[in-house]
A and B are shown apart, each in its own frame.
Chain A
Amino acid sequence: MNKVMSNKWIIALYVLPGLLLISVLIFIPLILSAYYGLMKWDGIGAMEFIGLENYINAIQDAKFWESAFHSFLLALFSTLSLVIYLAISIILASKIKGSDILRKIYLIPMLLSSVAIAQLWIKIFNPSNGMLNSILLGLGVENPPAWLAEPSIVLYAIFIPILWQYAGFYILIYYAALKNIPESLIEAARIDGATPFQIAYKIKLPLIMGVVKVTIVLAIVGSLKYFDLIYVMTGGGPNGASEVMASYMYKLAFASNDFGYGSAIGFLLLIITLIVTVIVRKATATKEEIQY
């Protein structure tokens, strides 16, 4: 048994194709972008080697840290929102009537591209004839805010569509994980007189904890490098109030012609993400993985 399951050739055969692919298409670009970070380069003319200057500047760049802070906030909210998605998934995966159709409906928004989602939420947030403000006015709120124009609000306003956009993704994963739990375990608990809450909390949750941990990492990593809706809906504005690391990096590299600096920021983004991920993995590690 052990011999078969540790055959080096088989391991290589199974792992190497994927590893090779990501080495060539992800790691080489990654190393190159770290290398570009050592250059003064507008992406057009000649490169000039300037050592760690870009990295040092980045560390002292208040705008970068502000955008990093925004990214961290997004990561925090994304992680917290997992609780809601988990709750919805537990309800959907239990045997209630209509759960099949509800599940499909719940996942529809995730099929839409960011272009469509951005347009939808731009319409919702429009300060004069958007849906949100129409409702607020109808409720008697005087002078509802211009959601995407107020520096103090814009970041939180734009988090809503981002979190909403990914809801389906996590619900889908949790749902599959919950459905993977053998029915007999739940049945046994029910016969023992456990309430649905107890079953969810004491049996289902521990059993899918491995998957939950994975989604925590995915939520954090996904948030720290998030770009799409920010870029389309606010462009990071007004004046940087909704800037995140990836949009800042993009702006530097593509709009400010500061490709060397942008690359350095991109590389720092990765390092920061890596550190956070390692910390989170350590914090959520348990001695043994559960099997059933």
Chain B
Amino acid sequence: MKIKKAFATMFVTFASVLLVAGCSSSDDNANKDGKKTVEFMHLWPEGSSKQHNKIVSDIIMDFEEENPDVKIDLEVLSNEQYKDKLKVLSTSNELPDVGMTWAAGFLEPYVNGDKFATLDDILEEDLKDSFVSGTAEAYEIDGDTYGLPLELNIATVFYNKAIFDEYDLKEPETFEELEKVVKTLNDNGVAPIALGNKDRWTGSLWYMYLADRIGGVEVLNNAIDRSGSFEDPALIEAAEKVQNLVDMDAFVKGFNGLSDEEAKSMFMSEQAAMYLIATWDLPNYTTNEDVPQEFRDSVDYFNFPTVDDKGDMNSFVGGPGVGLFVAEDSDVKDEAKDFASFFVQEWGEKSVTDAGVIPATKVDGESLDLPQMYVDVLDDLNAASNITLFADVQMSADVAQVHLDMIQSLFGEDSTPEDFAKEHEDALSTEE
């Protein structure tokens, strides 16, 4: 009998622990005091993105002040964790009311699965004409827009003027000039280009620019949207050019095993002369006090050169970064949309002045007190003839993985340019 009793006690204890634990948590959207709660998830932790984080907090405070019956419930995760968690949440249909998404390929399954709400109403009213053209469109699927872009980035080649001056080099305008620069630097024992291709999208930037310059602005887009083929001669030639650069030791040693961060640090410690990266890095070369002034002063950038007299130096690889989504199943959809719209409006100017982000909303660069490099980039953006969205963002997640793996393989010379194109073509055509 004693044993049975012990047995029962144990189970009761065990069950009650679970029960108490289970009942004590309540995630209802209506609070006791009648406030509505909007859940918001973002990926700018305080420790690493202090300014971003602060702007967000300020926006939330302002919003709660203006809307006393709404409370914003915040969760902050780092980039990778954010993506994983969003995935898990979506499997159980538990997305936050407002969160961050990426454009095109990332967005598409969420839209097809009816997880994100259309934001056309906001775009037509509060935010009419406030986005730089082409940015909100990246969040458009079948004519409806599902995301409000927050950032806009273009990739350019940053270079170290001090090193260039030392060897009497000037900004290359053609691929041949770039090759000469690479050769001179190599002859003098300076690593020409920092590249962290463990992250793979970094190498993709190089490939995309070469494809753009050789085949024009549409060839890559067409291959991806299936109005063209990836086995287009221009796309194969671009792959050959990549391997030419690899053969000349243009990139730092072991680039396929280095993360972008490691490559960046090589550039920033003057161990490499050039670094192709997007404009989210601008603060490092302008306002970031943690970087030595001397270094910041010696950095400049040039647009990717033309190849064999082909291509337009005002055509960029880039696109909007993260944008806001509103969950389709949200219980507080109206409040969530209000918040998203409010967020974008407040974000614009604050983000450029306080966090050094180039926002996707139109800002008047002239009226703000910005470092020269920002003014230059904003000018370039105004003069841009085209912005091709990052390939891995354009593609569906599945194909993007093939693309990224093949980039690593191409740069590592494990695949020929022809195989590289064929693998892409195969992956893309199975999607059709």
What A residues does B6 contact at CB under 8 A?
13
- CB pair B115 A44 closer than 8 Å: yes
Question: Given contacts A17-B10, A148-B198, A255-B397, is CB(A239)–CB(B412) below 8 Å?
Answer: yes
Question: Given contacts A10-B3, A44-B90, A256-B398, is CB(A238)–CB(B113) below 8 Å?
Answer: no
Choose from B91, B396, B401, B414 the contact partner of A259 (Cβ within 8 Å): B91
Q: In whole angstroms, what is the CA distance A42 to B111 when docked?
A: 12
Q: In whole angstroms, what is the CA distance A244 to B191 when docked?
A: 33
Q: In whole angstroms, what is the CA distance A128 to B91 when docked?
A: 43
Of listed A148, A234, A239, residue having the most chain B CB within 10 A: A239
- CB pair B109 A42 closer than 8 Å: yes
- Assess whether B84 is interfacial by the CB under 8 Å rule: yes
What B residues does A79 contact at CB under 8 A?
none
- CB pair A7 B3 closer than 8 Å: yes
Q: How far is the CB of B328 from chain A (nearest CB, A)?
A: 12
- Assess whether A215 is interfacial by the CB under 8 Å rule: no
- Assess whether A126 is interfacial by the CB under 8 Å rule: yes
- CB pair B257 A234 closer than 8 Å: yes
Question: Given contacts A44-B115, A128-B252, is CB(A17)–CB(B14) below 8 Å?
Answer: yes
- Assess whether B112 is interfacial by the CB under 8 Å rule: yes
Choose from A125, A127, A149 the contact partner of B412 (Cβ within 8 Å): A149
- CB pair A149 B10 closer than 8 Å: no
Q: Provide the B124-136 mask, 1 if CB < 8 A to any CB of A, else 0.
A: 0000000000000
- Assess whether B209 is interfacial by the CB under 8 Å rule: no
Q: Which residue of A lies closest to B266 (CB)?
A: A128
- CB pair A9 B14 closer than 8 Å: no
What A residues does B4 contact at CB under 8 A?
9
- Assess whether A235 is interfacial by the CB under 8 Å rule: yes
Choose from A146, A235, A240 the contact partner of B253 (Cβ within 8 Å): A146
Question: Given contacts A149-B254, A234-B198, is CB(A239)–CB(B405) below 8 Å?
Answer: yes
- CB pair A149 B3 closer than 8 Å: no
- Assess whether B310 is interfacial by the CB under 8 Å rule: no
Of listed A10, A42, A46, A151, residue having the most chain B CB within 10 A: A42
- Assess whether B300 is interfacial by the CB under 8 Å rule: no
- Assess whether A45 is interfacial by the CB under 8 Å rule: yes
- CB pair B398 A258 closer than 8 Å: yes
What A residues does B396 contact at CB under 8 A?
257
- Assess whether B139 is interfacial by the CB under 8 Å rule: no
- CB pair A238 B408 closer than 8 Å: yes
- A side interface size, CB within 8 A: 38
- CB pair B198 A127 closer than 8 Å: no
- CB pair A125 B84 closer than 8 Å: no
Q: In whole angstroms, what is the CA distance A44 to B6 when docked?
A: 46
Which bucket holds chain B's interface residue count? 35 or more
- Assess whether B271 is interfacial by the CB under 8 Å rule: yes
Question: Given contacts A13-B6, A237-B405, is CB(A256)–CB(B257) below 8 Å?
Answer: no
Question: Given contacts A45-B109, A128-B254, is CB(A239)–CB(B414) below 8 Å?
Answer: yes
- CB pair B3 A256 closer than 8 Å: no
What A residues does B180 contact at CB under 8 A?
none
Q: In whole angstroms, what is the CA distance A46 to B173 when docked?
A: 50
Q: Which residue of A lies closest to B114 (CB)?
A: A45
What B residues does A150 contact at CB under 8 A?
257
Choose from B7, B110, B257 the contact partner of A148 (Cβ within 8 Å): B257
- Assess whether B226 is interfacial by the CB under 8 Å rule: no
Question: Given contacts A7-B3, A254-B87, A257-B109, is CB(A127)–CB(B257) below 8 Å?
Answer: yes
Task: Give 8 nearest A-B pairs by CB, closest first.
Answer: A146-B254, A45-B113, A148-B257, A127-B254, A149-B257, A149-B256, A257-B397, A239-B409
- Assess whether B83 is interfacial by the CB under 8 Å rule: yes
- Assess whether B258 is interfacial by the CB under 8 Å rule: yes
- CB pair A46 B3 closer than 8 Å: no
- CB pair B253 A128 closer than 8 Å: yes
> Can you list 6 A-B pairs, Cβ within 8 angstroms, ordered by A?
A9-B3, A44-B113, A45-B109, A45-B113, A148-B254, A148-B256
- CB pair A149 B398 closer than 8 Å: no
- CB pair B257 A251 closer than 8 Å: no
Q: In whole angstroms, what is the CA distance A258 to B431 when docked?
A: 13
- CB pair B7 A9 closer than 8 Å: yes
What A residues does B197 contact at CB under 8 A?
238
Q: Provide the B249-279 mask, 1 if CB < 8 A to any CB of A, else 0.
A: 0001111111100100010000100000000
Of listed A9, A149, A254, residue having the most chain B CB within 10 A: A149
> Apart from A45-B115, A256-B397, what 11 extra A-B contacts exist at CB < 8 Å?
A42-B113, A43-B91, A126-B262, A127-B258, A128-B266, A146-B253, A149-B254, A149-B257, A235-B199, A238-B409, A256-B400
Q: In whole angstroms, what is the CA distance A129 to B191 when docked?
A: 13
Q: Provide the A1-34 mask, 1 if CB < 8 A to any CB of B, else 0.
A: 0000001011011000100100000000000000
What A residues does B424 contact at CB under 8 A?
none
CB interface residues, A 25-73, toward B, < 8 Å: 42-46
Q: In whole angstroms, what is the CA distance A44 to B414 when docked?
A: 34
- CB pair B112 A45 closer than 8 Å: yes
What A residues does B117 contact at CB under 8 A?
none
Choose from A20, A42, A251 the contact partner of B401 (Cβ within 8 Å): A251
CB interface residues, B 389-432, toward A, < 8 Å: 396-398, 400-401, 405-406, 408-409, 412, 414-415
Q: How far is the CB of B3 from chain A (nearest CB, A)?
A: 5
Q: Provide the A231-261 mask, 1 if CB < 8 A to any CB of B, else 0.
A: 0001101111000000000010011111100
- CB pair B414 A151 closer than 8 Å: yes
Choose from B91, B401, B415 the contact partner of A256 (Cβ within 8 Å): B401
Q: How far is the CB of B417 from chain A (nearest CB, A)?
A: 15
Q: How far is the CB of A57 from chain B (nearest CB, A)?
A: 12
Choose from A9, A235, A255, A257 the contact partner of B198 (Cβ within 8 Å): A235
- CB pair A46 B200 closer than 8 Å: no
Q: Which residue of B lies closest to A149 (CB)?
A: B257
Q: In whole angstroms, what is the CA distance A12 to B11 when docked?
A: 12
